[in-house]
Structure 1
Amino acid sequence: MHATQTPYAQNPLRALLLLACRTVLGVVFIAHGWSKFTEPTIQATIKQFAAWKVPFPDITAPLVGALEVLGGACLVLGAYTWVVCVLLSLEMAGAIWFIHRHNGLLVGRGGWEYCASLIAGLISLSIASAGKFSYDAWANGPEEPSGRSRSRRR
């Protein structure tokens, strides 16, 4: 390593950038999840899911809304980040499949680019970890210089 380079896990900006990424993604998911219950109602969301032919809309609509709200909160806190990123990525893949795939790429036409961008952000976050300013870091201990977290084993 060059003398002026900082190891990946020790870079002071890394923790702040990961916090910013988690916060943006988390707030987006919270807002979209909350809107499934409130704009206008969960019953309207269930009807929309049924119109899109999403399986079991009475179950999936509230489940998706809850996953987005709770998963978004976990992202903001940096809690269970890897698991939450996987679950939300699977949900976004389902949104692409059931809702957006026939509409092309562009979001203005109902396309799948927005969902794919969220998946890319979630995958990146799951690879990078939640960072130093997170519940995960507090629960699992500091990261190794390689960027991987170390489990607390006693």
Structure 2
Amino acid sequence: MDTQANLRENALHDITHWGIRASIGAIFIVHSLKKFDPSWQEWLISIGLPPELQIPIALAELIGGILLVIGVLTRITGAVFAVILMGAIFHIRWENGFFVSKGGWEWDLVMLAAVLAIIAAGPGRVSVSHIAKKIPRYLQ
């Protein structure tokens, strides 16, 4: 039997879960926008990556961010973001050391931890996946 305290705790848990998911999604959306600029393609070339990755990475971050905010395909999106973040950590930032003030991977590690938590927890109850209930659990 649920008491009022349990109901409030569950609601707070659901809102907190959505807040984390939406925050990470919003960060990826905002960061994706600068990746559509042609100068980002030049930057890819400067770090040894093919310029053809510009649009796929930008779209993955934009669409994935939207999917995280609304709570659809959350685990799959989280896995894609985990790959992007590990690429950022090991290919781009590793040699700069840990601290973000020196161009390091500190912030990327925090984002990776959040994305892994989202993968483990799934979309939660404040999500389109939960409301629609038609999306198979393994795709949520």
TM-score normalized by structure 2?
Answer: 0.86
1:76 aligns with 2:46: no
Deviation by residue 1:7-63 (Cα, 9 ceiling, x = unmatched)? 9xx8221110111011110110000001111xxx2x211110111112x2x221221
1:104 aligns with 2:97: yes
Q: Which residue of 2 aligns with 1:16?
A: 15
Q: How large is the RMSD of aligned CA atoms in angstroms? A: 2.1
Equivalent-residue separation in structure 1 for 2:82 and 2:132 (angstroms)? 24
Larger Rg: 1
> Any stretches of 5+ residues in structure 1 without a counterpart?
142-149
1:60 aligns with 2:53: yes
Q: Which residue of 2 aligns with 1:147?
A: none
Structure 2 counterpart of 1:34, which letter? L
Residue pairs, 1:23-34, within 5 angstroms: 23-34=22-33
Structure 2 counterpart of 1:31, which letter? V
Structure 2 counterpart of 1:53, which letter? G
Structure 2 counterpart of 1:35, which letter? K
Q: Which residue of 1 aligns with 2:133?
A: 140
Shift of 1:138: 2.2
Count of residue pairs brought into register by the alignment: 133
Equivalent-residue separation in structure 1 for 2:98 and 2:28 (angstroms)? 21
Equivalent-residue separation in structure 2 for 1:123 and 1:34 (angstroms)? 23
Aligned pair partner of 2:43 in 42, 48, 69: 48
> Any stretches of 5+ residues in structure 2 without a counterpart?
none
Spell out structure 1 runs of 4+ moving beyond 3 A. 3-7
Equivalent-residue separation in structure 1 for 2:133 and 2:122 (angstroms)? 11
Equivalent-residue separation in structure 2 for 1:130 and 1:105 (angstroms)? 30
Shift of 1:4: 9.9
Equivalent-residue separation in structure 2 for 1:61 and 1:104 (angstroms)? 25
More helix by share: 2
Q: Which residue of 1 aligns with 2:87?
A: 94
User: Contact 1:14–1:131 (CA<8 Å) still a contact in 2?
Assistant: no
